[in-house]
Amino acid sequence: LSVGTGYFLRREWWWRVGVLGSLLMIAGLLVATRSTTSQAITLLAPAVMPVVLLVALLPRRVIWGIVLGVLAALSVAALLWVAVVDLAGGDPWGPMRGVTFTSRTDLWSFVLDEIAKRPWFGAGYASFWSIDPSIQPSLKTDMWFGVYAIINEGHQGYLDLLATGGIFGFVGGMAVVLRTLCIGGLAITRAAPAALAWRDGTLARPTAVFHLTLLICLLVHNFTESNLFFNNSVLAVAFVLA
């Protein structure tokens, strides 16, 4: 994302050739990692961001109308799915049965049980995974990740936020996230084209797009990984900087 942004910041042909060469090498490394989540996000971003950019340039009332409309459409679609499948005597969760997301569902089930023990304030910031082994909850279970593996995250950033901060921490954290997204969208509408930005020393629109894209990708990434508000994660630091 950051290297790709550089392509639109400069006009020199040698700069753009160098950027494209770097992108090819980075793409090869990404494929070599076999990270399904990262590969999916990388393929999704170029399709989603043009839509986000078009929406960001609309009046604020229209933007809120689109956001609420999309949420309403998703909610109606989910209700219709449940109703139709239930009338047919089927299982609404049938397509998801047996899907483990590479054994992540075991972790999520464990984290949900721990959240239920401390629902309001959680275990405390950074006080759930990488802490004293004698009190670390995951090492006190007989599940596979308590015996055969070293796990230092729940592989679901939102569940980890609930586990460590409780409901109060989760609401506060998501308020920060939503506020940051709004600032990122506003920055795009106020940023200048790259040529003008370099001349005037202001924020360039490609850079503003990169910041918002990174934020959205991190939020999607946290559905199967954890780096939201972590104190020892490179991606968490990138989130703060963006």
pLDDT digits (tens, 9 = 90+) for 96-106: 777 777 788 88
Give the pLDDT score at 232: 73
33-42, 205-214, 220-229: least confidently modelled range? 33-42
Q: What value does the CA radius of gyration of the chain take, rounded to a whole number of Å? A: 21
Residue 166, both tokens:
């409780």
Distance of CA 12 to the CA centre of its chain: 33
Could you tell me which residues are beta bridge partners of residue 204?
A: 192
CB atoms within 10 A of CB 89: 6
CB atoms within 10 A of CB 148: 8
Task: Summarize the confidence of residues 164-190 as an average pLDDT.
Answer: 91
The kind and range of the H/E element at 141 are: none
Exposed / middle / buried, residue 214 (Cβ in 10 Å: 0-12, 13-18, 19+): buried
* Whether 227 contacts 236, CB under 8 Å: yes
Per residue in 119-169, pLDDT (tens digit) is 999 999 888 888 887 788 888 787 777 776 678 888 999 999 999 999 999
State the pTM of this model.
0.80
CB contact set of 60 (below 8 Å; sequence gap of 6+): none
Query: Of the candidates 212, 62, 216, 49, which has an alpha carbon nearest to the alpha carbon of residue 203?
Result: 212
Per residue in 50-83, pLDDT (tens digit) is 887 788 778 888 988 998 999 999 999 999 988 9
Q: At 235, is the pLDDT very low, low, confident or very high (cuts 50, 70, 90)?
A: confident
Give the pLDDT score at 101: 78
Helices 60-87 and 36-56, axial angle in degrees (round to 10): 130
Residue linked to tokens 């054994």: 103
> Between these two residues, 221 and 198, which has the higher pLDDT value?
221
Quote the mean pLDDT of the chain. Answer: 86
Task: Summarize the confidence of residues 44-52 as an average pLDDT.
Answer: 80
Give the number of residues written for the chain: 242
